[in-house]
Structures are given as C-alpha cells and as structure tokens.
Amino acid sequence: MSYQTIVFDNRDGIARLTLNRPERLNSFNTQMHGEVREALAGLPASDARVLVITGAGRGFCAGQDLNDRAVAPGEAPPDLAASIEQHYKPLVLSLRALPMPVIAAVNGVAAGAGANLALACDVVIAARSAVFVQAFARLGLVPDSGGTWSLPRLVGTARAIGLAFLGDKLAASDAAAWGLIWRCVEDAEFPQVIEDLARHFAAAPTRGLARTKQAIYEGLGRTLAEQLDIERDYQGELGRSADYAEGVAAFGAKRTPRFTGR
C-alpha cells in the first residue's frame, strides 16, 4: 500500500514503520495519524513477529505538527482533547496491545508526543546523538500520549516532575542511565544494533513474549496475589504451545531452538 507520510514494510517476520516527514522532524499531522493507524491495524493478523518504529532523516518524531493546528486570528482554537481521544490515545494503546515486541529506534530528537510515543514501545534504543524532550510546559500543556503515566514509573516522581516542568533536553546517555530507555548506542553502531535485535525477535517465541508484555504492563495495577494467578494461567497456556515443546526439545538435544511464534 502506498503511503505519503510513512514508509511501511513487512517481510521476514519484521515489520518496519518509518515516520517520513523529515522536513518537519516527522511531527504528526492528521494524515500521518491515519496512515500509522492503518499500518498498525493489520499487524496482528500478519506474519510479523516484531515491529520497529523509527524516523526518517535527523529526527525520530517532534510530536504534534503545530502548523496542523494553526488558526487565523479570531478563530476558535483547536480541540486538543478531541485530538488526543481520536489520535494519540488509540495509538499508544494499540502499541501496548500488539502481540509482539515493539522496538523504538530513536535516531534523533524525540520531543513532546514523539518522546512519549517512544516510551509507549517495549524496547527503546537510542543513538547517542538523540535527545528526549518533554516540550509541553513550553506551550502551557500537560505531557500527553501517556507521558504522565510512564515518566514517574520509569524514572521516579522527582525526575518526572523535573522533565515535565522544565522541558529540558535529556541526552540519550542520561536517558539510559536513568532507566528511561533500554540502551544508548554509538551512532555508527545504531543501525546494526537495531537490525540484530529485530532479527532476534523475529526468531523468538513470539507468543511467550506477547504474554510477558501483557503480564508486565497489566501487572502494574494488580496485587502480588493477583499477579501470581496471572503467571499461573499464562504458564499453563504457554506450556501447551509449540514453542515450549520446541524449546524443551532443543535444550535436550543441545541445539538452537527453531521457534515459530506459536
């Protein structure tokens, strides 16, 4: 399918979604929202076993394209709540619900909703030159796209408040040191690190990873006893899967398992 604001490819078990408005640092407009939504909608029924999200050019995503919200003097301002309900909320929830690992390959600036889009992914790897910016305070807004939920859980309340109140740039190396992201890698190594991780997940036991993802995210709202019940139920389900049988057989034969994701 032909897209105008993204590049989407799905082959060999790896789906790749590139935000493709480099002249605007890949900021979101209405068309990009629609194209991303359409690309993600078909993934659960496809043969993809991992999704990689990145940006074209020198940026990952600068959040919302404010030009898309410009109004003439005297006109009513845009309804930001409606935009979140229609676009950003379903985007974040769809990424968290995908039954496969989602990698954010942060190749450059990730600002505003773009930063929180990255944090909605499962594994965030950033090039050393990348930065994360909670730019909302500069516009008199609250961090959206899950920012107020993810930031304190990832880095604690003190750092979350500092990032949200000040809107300062956070270097990728500091983001990794704080636990905001998984890894910061040198720019020259970045493409190969992303490729290697994508191929690893494309050959991994996808069903087990999907349940692990679900258990961790949903477990944030459960008691320990409730979570132990979930682990029991998921282990019972996965213990009957083809991948578990293959993993046990490969262990016994001292060979590399050949997982199918089922």
What confidence tens digit (pLDDT) does each residue in 124-179 have? 999 999 999 999 999 999 999 999 999 999 999 999 999 999 999 999 999 999 99
Residue 105 predicted with pLDDT over 70: yes
Domain 6-202 is in which class?
Answer: alpha beta
Structure tokens at 206: 């996808």
Q: List CB contacts of 217: < 8 A, sequence separation 6 or more.
A: 96
- Backbone angle region of 63, left / alpha / beta, with phi > 0 → left and psi within -120 to 50 → alpha: left
Residue 88 predicted with pLDDT over 80: yes
Mean per-residue pLDDT over the chain, rounded: 96
Place 74 in a pLDDT band, splitting at 50, 70 and 90.
confident
Q: What is the pTM of this model?
A: 0.95
224-229: long-range pairs with CB below 8 Å, 24+: none
Largest CA distance in the chain: 74
Q: List CB contacts of 137: < 8 A, sequence separation 6 or more.
A: 164, 165, 166, 167
Closest C-alpha among 19, 24, 25, 23 to residue 6: 19
Percent of the chain with pLDDT over 90: 94
Residue ranges per domain, the chain? 6-202, 206-253
What confidence tens digit (pLDDT) does each residue in 169-203 have? 999 999 999 999 999 999 999 999 999 999 999 99
Domain 206-253 is in which class?
Answer: mainly alpha
